[in-house]
Amino acid sequence: MDAPAKPTRIQTQKRELILDAALDVFSTNGFRGSTIDQIADAAGMSKPNLLYYFKSKEDIHATLIQRLLETWLAPLHEIDDIGDPLTELKAYIRRKLEMARDYPRESRLFANEILQGAPRIMPLLEGELKSLVDEKALIIKGWMRDGKIAQTDPRHLIFSIWATTQHYADFDVQVRAVLGPDRGGDGRFDDAARFLEQLFLDGLRPKR
C-alpha cells in the first residue's frame, strides 16, 4: 500500500535548497540549456545526491513551474469590482511591478517556458489562465460600461500590463545597459512605477 512516508527534516531542507539552485540555473539557461551537474554544483552537492531527492531533471522543472504558477497569478486573482476601478488597476500594476523586482527568476522561468511554445503548460494556459482572464475581463468591461474607465479591449489591457511590468525582469540586462550604471541601480523600479502609472492613467497626449 506504499504509504507516502512523510519526509524527514533533511529531505524538506535539501529539496528546498535544490529548488532554489535550480531556479537560478533554469531561469538563465532554459530547460535544455541547463544540466543536472550545474544545478547540483549550485546546490553544493553531487549529481547522484541530487537525483536522490528528485528523480529526474524534468521532475525538478515541473515542481518549479507548478509552484511558480500558484504565486504568479495571485495578483490577478485579487482584482475585484468592490473598490474604485482606477485605484484597483493602479494597485494591480504596482503589484506586478513589485513581483518583477522581487521575483525576477520566476518571471524569466515563465518567459523561457512561453518562448519555447509552452510545451509543459499549454493545457493550463488554455484552461485555468484563460478562464481567469475571461472572468477579470468581464469585471473590467463592467467598469467601462459604467463609464468608470475608458472604453477599450480589456484583454489587451491585461496583456499590456503583463508586458510592461515583466519587461523589467525578463529584459533586465537590456534595461540596465540602456539606462547606464547610474539609473540602472535601484531607482529604476521607482521610475518605472511613476511612468507606468501616468501611461495607464492619462497616456501621452498633453493636457490643455
Footprint of a copy of itself (CB under 8 A): 28-33, 86, 89, 108, 111-112, 114-118, 122, 125-126, 129-130, 133, 147-150, 152-153, 155-157, 159-160, 162-164, 166-168, 170-171, 173-175, 177-180, 191-192, 194-196, 198-207
- Name which of DNA, a copy of itself, none residue 139 binds, using a CB cut-off of 5 to 8 Å depending on partner kind: none
Closest approach, Cβ 179 to DNA, in A, equals: 33
| Residue 66 binding: pick among a copy of itself, DNA, none (C-beta 5-8 Å cut-off by kind) | none
- Which of 55, 145, 205, 208 contacts DNA by CB under 7 A? 55
Contact 69, 121 (CB under 8 A): yes
- The distance of closest approach from Cβ of residue 7 to a copy of itself in the complex, given in angstroms and rounded to an integer, is 32
Taking each helix axis from N to C terminus, what angle separates 172-183 and 188-202, rounded to the nearest 10 degrees? 110
159 binds, options a copy of itself, DNA, none, Cβ within 5 to 8 A by partner type: a copy of itself
Q: By C-beta, is 14 or 108 nearer to a copy of itself?
A: 108
* Greatest C-alpha distance within the chain: 75
Interface with DNA, residue 11, by CB under 7 A: yes
111 vs 168: CA distance, rounded Å? 12
Name the amino acid, one letter, at 29. Answer: N
Specify the stretch interacting with DNA by CB under 7 A; choose among 28-36, 92-100, 149-157, 168-176: 28-36
**Ordered DSSP codes for 40-79:** HHHHTS-HHHHHHHSS-HHHHHHHHHHHHHHHHTHHHHT-
Smallest separation (angstroms) from DNA to the CB of 111 = 20
Q: Does 58 bind DNA (CB under 7 A)?
A: yes
Q: Which three cell numbers stand for residue 101?
A: 523586482
Grid cell of 76 as nine digits: 490577478
**Contact window for DNA (CB under 7 A) among 51-59, 98-106, 152-160, 184-192:** 51-59
Q: Residue length, the chain?
A: 208
Q: What is the DSSP letter of 186?
A: S
**Helix, strand, coil percentages for the chain (3-state, nearest 5):** 75, 0, 25
Phi, psi for 24 (deg, rounded to 5): -55, -55
Applying CB under 7 A, which residues contact DNA? 5, 8-11, 14, 34-37, 45-49, 51-52, 55-58
